Amino acid sequence: MPAETIRSPRGLDAPTGVASPRGLGGLTGVVAAELTKLVRRPASWLLLVIAVVLGLTFTYLIPYAGYAGGTRGPRSGRGLAPLLPAELVGNSIGGLPVFLGALMVILGVLTVGGEYGWGTWKTLLTQGPSRTTGYAGKLLALAAATLVAVLAVFATGAVTSAAIAAAEGAPTSWPGAGDLAVGVGAGWLIATMWASFGALLAVLLRGVALPVGLGLVWLLAVQNLLASIAAPLLDWVAQAQKGLPGPNAGALVAALGATADTPGVEAVVGGGQAALVLGAYLLGFALLGLFRLRRGDVL
């Protein structure tokens, strides 16, 4: 049950003291309220920590342990090079097509679907904003959260790769500022697209558990089965997957330096086409979610 709210003349909701959408006015108020909820929600921080830990563990720590121990593996032939700062862009965004993308889907589901579980959609919409403003505010807050997640992965990757280079006495050569900006932008696009996909599932299914389950099944099972089993056997599947979000995310990160031995990374299309397709999916997911929310019952 949602906590009882006490209205104050300044537009603050007691006892939390968070400014209500009506108090701040319009879209700005909704975004501020949604950002406050994301910051105060432990699950948001947990997802961020998991994203950073997974990125460091499978991109740097395990490969470096294999290199230091002389273990043969997919990256052994290239030695230390994939772990150095020069590969920061590809290493930082390589997990977004599958594993880190799955965490962004969960974030999108929790941000939107939690309102159904707590029964607070009705409370939110009676504060003043329309359904369009309320949903747009959530998506903008999600975009800010995904940017923070991408920057955190880049920052921790930079520190780790620099430490590996220093420990091995290897040269420290960083990507150019333009390459870093393109990498962060591409990662932000993919992460926000997956978060919008999660938000859409939450609106369609009006909850949390089922949308999370279906989203994870799609990312971790269906799209990988299509790429690894169906596409090599059926040409029409191989062609059709070029229009799916997962393969296009994998193609975009491949174009920016992610290694092909990373799950979900394959250059099935060019980087420019992949970026356009992902942008179209982001817009489509956002509009479909808004359409369903405006036409459906929020209860």
DSSP 116-154: HHHT-HHHHHTTS--HHHHHHHHHHHHHHHHHHHHHHHH
| Predicted local confidence at residue 9, as pLDDT | 36
Torsion (CA) 153, 155, 159, 161 in degrees, nearest 10: 50
pTM flag (> 0.75): yes
Q: For residue 233, what are its two tokens? A: 């056997």
Question: Residue 175's Cα: distance from chain center in Å?
Answer: 23
Asked if residues 192 and 284 have their Cβ atoms less than 8 Å apart, the reply is no
| Predicted local confidence at residue 165, as pLDDT | 93
| Predicted local confidence at residue 51, as pLDDT | 95
Q: Give me the residue spans of the domains in the chain.
A: 25-295
pLDDT string in tens for the chain (299-residue length): 444 333 333 333 433 334 444 444 588 888 998 999 999 999 999 999 999 999 999 999 998 988 887 665 545 446 788 899 999 999 999 999 999 999 999 999 999 988 887 777 777 777 667 888 889 999 999 999 999 999 999 999 999 999 999 998 888 899 999 999 999 999 999 999 999 999 999 999 988 999 999 999 998 888 888 888 888 888 888 898 889 999 999 999 999 999 888 888 988 999 999 999 999 999 999 999 999 988 876 65
Q: Count Cβ atoms below 10 Å from residue 147 Cβ, excluding itself.
A: 16
Question: DSSP character for 20?
Answer: P
* CA distance linking residue 283 with residue 299, whole number of Å: 25
- Residue 102 phi, psi (nearest 5): -60, -40
Asked if residues 23 and 141 have their Cβ atoms less than 8 Å apart, the reply is no
